Structure 1
Amino acid sequence: MNAIPTVTKNLLIINVLVFLATIVAQTYGIDLARYLGLHFFLADNFNIAQLITYMFMHGGFTHLFFNMFALWMFGRILEQVWGPKRFLFYYLLCGIGAGFIQEIVQYIHYEMVLSAYDSVNTGYSVIPMKEYLNMMTTVGASGAVYAILLGFGMLFPNQPLFIFPLPFPIKAKYFVIGYALIELYAGFANNPGDNVAHFAHLGGMIFGFILIMYWRKKDKGNGYYYN
């Protein structure tokens, strides 16, 4: 792993170690997501530190693998361009921003549920509200990873990418736009069987865009972002 920049390498290691710790904890009947996953802010299990810790939790090997693959593939390039401090700040801030957006979306959903129950019930006999709130748990580095995809697309918009199963290369800017549109559609489609935090993904991209635009203005003339 010597060819991988320091921050990217350490992020990969931490995510893998936490995933392994999750598996070990499960054998002892301990669910780390209960403590480290991001809970709804009105739930008993919520802790402000979860806005950071949730980024290092994953729901399964596939979830971990694809996030870490994207982090390795694109994150190391951004770290080489920005340097370790700026890259780490970008990663963490966008991850926190993704969690913040997810909390807002969950609050809107919560209010919709309350309104629906109020129209048909005087109480909440279908499911206790306390239990319902604690069911809202978000895990994964996807928000930060989507910000990395956005960053790569903004720094290298015309870089051709070979994306399976497309038989032809696609420019990075179109790849990023396409992913954003898919997430936006999936988020509003609100499929009952879909447990993916699509708006957290979009939240990471939004915070990434704002931060990069701020840096471009601050570092204007440095040639930093015009590759």
Structure 2
Amino acid sequence: MPSQFSFWLYPLLMFSVLALCLRARLGFAWAWGFILQVLAIGVCAILGLTLGPDWFYAILGWALFVIFAIIPRVLLSRLDTCVSLLRAKQAIECAHQLKYFYWGQPGQFWIDMTTANSLFLERRVDEALEILHSWEKKKLPKAVSDVIYTYRLSGRAVLGQWQLIVDEYEAAASAATNVSSRLSLAASRAYLEVGNADQAALTLERSQLNESRASTKSVALTLLPYFALLGAMRETEKMFEIGEGGKTELPEYVKLYWLARCQVAAEKIGEAKALFQKCAELIAAQNGPANWQARVQHQLEKANSGETVHLRGNVSGAIARGWRIFEQCEFVERIIFPNKTSFVVIGLIALILFLMILSVEVIRILPNYISGCEPLLILHLSGRLEPNAVLHGQWWRLITYLFLHAHTSHALINVIGLFWFGRMAVNIYGPGRFLFIFIAAGTLSGICHVLLAKHMPAIGASGAVMGIFGAVAAGIWRLKDSLPRGVRRQELAWMLGLALSQIVLDQYVPHVASMAHLGGLVFGFLLGLLLQPRKQAKLNLATQEA
């Protein structure tokens, strides 16, 4: 007989099917390792649901999920940060660790990309280009080819070939083709290096950085050179503050370098030279990277000789345009990848878990004849959704059933969905409307169950969580003037796929109130269309007037 561990196998099965479809599109030569990993997770789910023991395969399946899906993402994020900070040795170390998780071509690809990056820093240009060219000759997914192009542009930036980047961008733009977002982003930096503020702002806008779905921290590190080269000290310091969020700490010499470049752009050469000198001394004292030492020395020589670039165009306007793009990126993360937790969401989760412990675990652990346990059993029986009881006037069950669950796994799965989509809903509608959607969608989902599944009792917040999910989808659809088009399209596409997968899965999972799920989803979406999204607050930074 299946236990509550079976609940954890269905999400694994759904993930495996969706991931297999996505990986297969990349081509077998590139994706065979990913396909094997996804199949291993899917086999665990199938064996757990058919042969058992389900607890063993649930633990094994989720362990494989962490190993194959979570750890590589962490390593790849760390690798990107090392590349951004010109830490070539650490980037190569991350790539070698990544090879244990990315089998075949992907593992070797990242080793070669970080090696090419290191060779560029060492001015061994021919060797770096040879590595990149060897991959360009292969048949690869478009996203992978774009990464190669990014490293080629990064190499030109390391070598200071700014005019070449500008020329390549202008040639692509004049050919009336779709200019790569990576080329536009690189050209934005290049235009600043040659002193053209207006073109830098224009190419930054064309880079579609706000559609990258990158974290605010990553965007801050990307825009740090932009604001520094415009002489925008407040914005540069804000990028430092946000870019160092979490466990990321920028080396002090990196901060000094960009502060010095900011002073140069502001034509405060004396302050800039002092910062460059301090930066060089710090790198020497810490035995820092040689490429950084050469970089700082080059800028110091330019400052001493008066060869600094003078900005042309509307500098304050370029700063304001860059800040608007950063605000858009921050808004996307706030809605799509919320990192702050609302007290309303936490309160609901705490109530669900508290009642789960009382009504499920205490009754299960302690015999019913022990004094004090009978009221808990009564709470469970009188609070669950009994269709006949509701039809005979016990309307409170349409609310109370939302906070009762069959077992721990049932409650935890709903809590995970509530935690993720609840925070998104709070960010879109505000805490008051979120709470209304939760109660209203949960109640209406219960009515659907009462009318369409009269012989089946039900408990759980699933209908309300599906309602929150539907309201979030409606909110993202309505934010067409605030969210970039590409972000909205991607988010709605995967949410549609998730909703369809849940509807199909409900037909196979035993003892599931499928009508409550479907009703919650539909009514949540309708409530999201009716309710007004909250007015979004902007970041607290007074930028210069354009």
TM-score, length of structure 1 as denominator length: 0.68
- Structure 1 residues 92-142: Cα deviation after superposition (integer angstroms, max 9, x where no partner): 0000011000111114xxxxxxxxxxxxxxxxxxxxxxxxx5xx3100000
Moved more, 197-206 or 24-33: 24-33
Partner of 1:68: 415
- What is the CA-CA distance between 1:212 and the residue it aligns to? 1.6
Q: Give matches, 1:20-169, under 5 Å.
A: 20-22=357-359, 23-26=361-364, 27-29=366-368, 30=374, 31=377, 32-42=379-389, 47-107=394-454, 136-156=456-476, 159=487
Tell me if the contact between 1:33 and 1:139 (Cα under 8 Å) persists in the aligned partners: no
TM-score, length of structure 2 as denominator length: 0.30
Distance 1:197 1:46, change over 3 A: farther
Partner of 2:490: 171
Partner of 2:266: none
Distance in 2, Cα, partners of 1:47 & 1:33: 14
Partner of 1:16: 353
If asked which structure has higher relative contact order (CA below 8 Å, sep 6+), I would say: 1
- What is the CA-CA distance between 1:34 and the residue it aligns to? 1.1
Distance in 1, Cα, partners of 2:427 & 2:514: 28
- How many residues align structurally? 180
More helix per residue: 2
Tell me if the contact between 1:39 and 1:45 (Cα under 8 Å) persists in the aligned partners: no
Partner of 1:163: none
- What is the CA-CA distance between 1:213 and the residue it aligns to? 1.8
Moved more, 37-46 or 86-95: 37-46
Distance in 2, Cα, partners of 1:43 & 1:96: 12
Distance in 2, Cα, partners of 1:8 & 1:42: 30
Q: Secondary structure at the match of 1:16?
A: helix
Distance in 2, Cα, partners of 1:45 & 1:61: 30
- Structure 1 residues 10-31: Cα deviation after superposition (integer angstroms, max 9, x where no partner): 1011001000111224425243
Tell me if the contact between 1:15 and 1:57 (Cα under 8 Å) persists in the aligned partners: yes
Q: Secondary structure at the match of 1:171?
A: helix
- Alignment of 1:7 with 2:344, yes or no, is yes
- What is the CA-CA distance between 1:179 and the residue it aligns to? 3.5
Distance in 2, Cα, partners of 1:74 & 1:144: 11
* 1:208 aligns with one of 513, 516, 524: 524
Q: Which has the larger radius of gyration?
A: 2
Structure 2: where are the runs of 5+ without partners? Answer: 1-339, 369-373, 478-485, 537-546
Tell me if the contact between 2:475 and 2:529 (Cα under 8 Å) persists in the aligned partners: no
Tell me if the contact between 1:143 and 1:203 (Cα under 8 Å) persists in the aligned partners: yes
Tell me if the contact between 1:183 and 1:202 (Cα under 8 Å) persists in the aligned partners: no
The percent identity for this pair of structures is: 26
- What is the CA-CA distance between 1:155 and the residue it aligns to? 2.7
For the aligned residues, what is the CA RMSD? Answer: 3.0
Counterpart amino acid of residue 424 in structure 2: I
- Structure 1 residues 61-110: Cα deviation after superposition (integer angstroms, max 9, x where no partner): 11111110111112012113322211110110000011000111114xxx
Structure 1: where are the runs of 5+ without partners? Answer: 108-132, 161-169
Distance in 1, Cα, partners of 2:476 & 2:528: 13
- What is the CA-CA distance between 1:223 and the residue it aligns to? 7.0
- What is the CA-CA distance between 1:214 and the residue it aligns to? 1.8
Partner of 2:50: none
Distance 1:15 1:42, change over 3 A: closer
Distance 1:43 1:102, change over 3 A: closer
- What is the CA-CA distance between 1:44 and the residue it aligns to? 9.6
